[in-house]
Chains A and B, each alone.
Chain A
């Protein structure tokens, strides 16, 4: 059975279909990655149109609360062996939106990220490198974000709900933290 699993992992590592969530500015790095200059298809990575078909969810940059909602829904629509790539510093710590009231700061509090690509912007080489790294992780059986999500579902849901379903103001005592004239 484990041989079968290894074989399956081998194939999964060589055929990663990607859904790119392109709200951030990082989306502009993807066309060169796909086309002649860098050609990600040689790694078996193909852009897909819907979450049903995809293996990788590539988050290209910052996510506002509204778009995070869509990303979570999209992630949950994907089928089981699935991986999330956080792209750019925005997904790591908010990047230039580090103090914004509407942009989330750390993606892996809400969905399990298997691999971060640091940089603002990461170049296509970095994206290709991440595919190779992800392939190695899959082969070693370390990229198990989807299992983590199922195991810690309550924790993820609580984090998501804290952002999505607010029933009280966030600032408990606004007069203390606001700087009124």
Chain B
């Protein structure tokens, strides 16, 4: 019964067709989306590691071999993406935003295909399907014009990435005559000692695609735009699941170790890996620094996603057992907490009608469940034990320290501390502070939304204090890529190289000290609750003073000292240097393009050049 791998792809496609037919019946459309996700989840229960399936597709007289192969990594990715998708579609049953169910199902089909396929044609086709479906999904955000612009930019970047992958794919095909991923990878591993530069070139073509999809440093420009202007219920999927495709792709190619193959090494790492560690670190720091000053909350969290993906890339690029474990573990944690955060943001935005931080405030009184979900979400994202973000961050530090990459570690720590800053900024500006009278009629999300929020809260705490449930499958993945897995002492332990952390113990410790705190709180003298107007105003009576909640809310220029500190770096951007460079490159590029015509392969090459130009241009804008 290996054909259920095909059904993994076809069920969502059928569901997508039905959903597209029923597109006008909003609720039915959503229901079908949700039930298709649920059915797919049942299909995933039936798959197991080592399943393979292959068939030949007759395409205009040519036989195209398609094959499927389920590895530990793919089953892990399938589970986390589909479970999250099911939760998200369940949430969006009550949602009114313009997310299109059939597109999400197309992405699901592509998702299943990408994670299970073993041939490059299927991989490429699924990649394109996913890319285009997500591009169209980005359209239809709350701000028409901006989401159109974001989708266009995302489309251009995706096309660039596709060309790059296409080029790499056919180069490989010319070399081996096979489309199979596993045999191609084996071939690359075998020739890496002889022609390291060739291998590097081919792999980097693929890596450009993966970096674009994950939004890693030089290609990060589409991320904030697309995340911010996509429909509110699509952004969680975009951030939580779709950014992981790039990580999955990188993990496919990373086992081709350049070590001991005549390449120079830095700190015991091949220099390419070393460069990728630094790319990850730069992404992490850049995302953090840019996130400080955003006023659009989705943009802020888009930069936060960027920063977290920087962590993941830095960790997996080390390609040590701790590094890969930490990277995949962080990918899971990021999926969970960022998904939860974006879902709560969707709830807040749908209820308040704005995504501007400076226009919100004080919503915790109105939306307590959402507030707690968001609180646990940012606690996880800031890496506070015993919530789920801690273990992976801790392992990432250890993996870096193990390689003596001290400065990278310090920068990552800076990014983590900075993460706390921007997370608190978002937390305060949305939920804390003064409640504006505009939001007097705001209500908590409907029951479905609350169920989802409770579920996510539970998941963040559960996987925080029971990391073993994730670390075991991650250990299997690490083993399958040929590294020693970390020992898992028990469900509650994160086992590092330098020390252990017993998460349930931290949980107990916190719980007991909270009990003591509450006892002290309730036996001491009584307190009374006052309204938000009854506040210290230096003796001024707020009504006489003309004070409104909006004017007594501090959310504009939240980190002004930081802005002053980073001002010299921003001036670089204002300078026309990059803009001029970008213009110059574009002119030169188009001139060169006019000279060469006729050869298809060279066209593809030009597309790659064009992509670089586009990246530089977009970086400036």
Contact = CB atoms under 8 A, between A and B. Distances in A.
A and B part of one assembly: yes
Interface string A68-95: 0111011001001000000000000000
B540 A77 contact: no
A80 B527 CA distance: 10
A5 to B, nearest CB: 11
A50 interface: yes
A112 interface: no
Contact of A70 (B525, B534, B536, B540): B540
B536 A73 contact: no
Interface in A51-74: 51-52, 69-71, 73-74
Nearest to A80: B525
B541 interface: yes
A115 to B, nearest CB: 22
B536 A77 contact: yes
A51 B525 CA distance: 18
A80 B540 CA distance: 21
Nearest to A81: B525
A20 to B, nearest CB: 12
A74 B536 CA distance: 8
A69 B536 contact: no
Contacts of B525: 80
Interface string B528-547: 00000010100111000000
Interface string A118-130: 0000000000000
A52 B539 CA distance: 11
Contacts of A51: 536
A154 to B, nearest CB: 20
A77 B528 CA distance: 12
A52 B536 contact: yes
B360 to A, nearest CB: 26
A88 B540 CA distance: 24
Interface string B495-538: 00000000000000000000000000000010000000010100
Contacts of B534: 77
Contacts of A71: 539
Nearest to A67: B539
A133 B188 CA distance: 90
B536 A50 contact: yes
A69 B539 CA distance: 8
Nearest to A75: B539
Nearest to A50: B536
A7 to B, nearest CB: 13
Contacts of B540: 70, 73
Contacts of B539: 70-71, 73-74
A113 B540 CA distance: 22
B436 to A, nearest CB: 23
Contacts of A77: 534, 536
Contacts of A70: 539-541
A70 B536 CA distance: 11
Nearest to B542: A73
A73 B536 CA distance: 10
Nearest to B544: A69
A77 B540 CA distance: 11
Contacts of A74: 539
Nearest to A53: B536
Interface in B477-505: none
A67 to B, nearest CB: 8
- Among B525, B534, B536, B541, residue most surrounded by chain A Cβ atoms (within 10 Å): B536
A47 to B, nearest CB: 15
B473 to A, nearest CB: 52
A50 B537 CA distance: 9
Interface in B536-563: 536, 539-541
Contacts of B541: 69-70, 73
A51 B537 CA distance: 10
B462 to A, nearest CB: 39
B526 to A, nearest CB: 9
A73 B540 CA distance: 8
Contacts of B536: 50-52, 77
Contacts of A69: 541
Interface string A84-115: 00000000000000000000000000000000
A77 B539 CA distance: 9
Nearest to A70: B539
Nearest to A49: B536
B527 to A, nearest CB: 9
Contacts of A50: 536
A74 B541 CA distance: 9
Contacts of A80: 525
A33 to B, nearest CB: 22
Nearest to A21: B539
A71 B541 CA distance: 10
Nearest to A52: B536
A51 B539 CA distance: 9
A69 B543 CA distance: 13
A50 B538 CA distance: 8
Interface string B78-102: 0000000000000000000000000
Nearest to B526: A80
A51 B534 CA distance: 12
Interface string B368-394: 000000000000000000000000000
- Among B525, B536, B539, B541, residue most surrounded by chain A Cβ atoms (within 10 Å): B539
B520 to A, nearest CB: 16
Nearest to B534: A77
A49 B540 CA distance: 15
A90 to B, nearest CB: 18
Nearest to B539: A70
A70 B541 CA distance: 7
A74 B525 CA distance: 21
Interface in A21-69: 50-52, 69
Contacts of A73: 539-541
Interface string B413-443: 0000000000000000000000000000000
A50 B536 CA distance: 7
B539 to A, nearest CB: 3
Interface string A145-156: 000000000000
B275 to A, nearest CB: 52
A91 to B, nearest CB: 17
B154 to A, nearest CB: 50
A80 B524 CA distance: 14
B528 to A, nearest CB: 9
A75 B539 CA distance: 9
A80 B525 CA distance: 10
B88 to A, nearest CB: 44
A50 B539 CA distance: 9
15 contacts: A50-B536, A51-B536, A52-B536, A69-B541, A70-B539, A70-B540, A70-B541, A71-B539, A73-B539, A73-B540, A73-B541, A74-B539, A77-B534, A77-B536, A80-B525
Q: 3 nearest interchain CB pairs?
A: A70-B539, A50-B536, A74-B539
Given A50-B536, A51-B536, A70-B539, 7 more contacts: A52-B536, A70-B540, A70-B541, A71-B539, A73-B540, A77-B534, A77-B536
Interface of A: 50-52, 69-71, 73-74, 77, 80
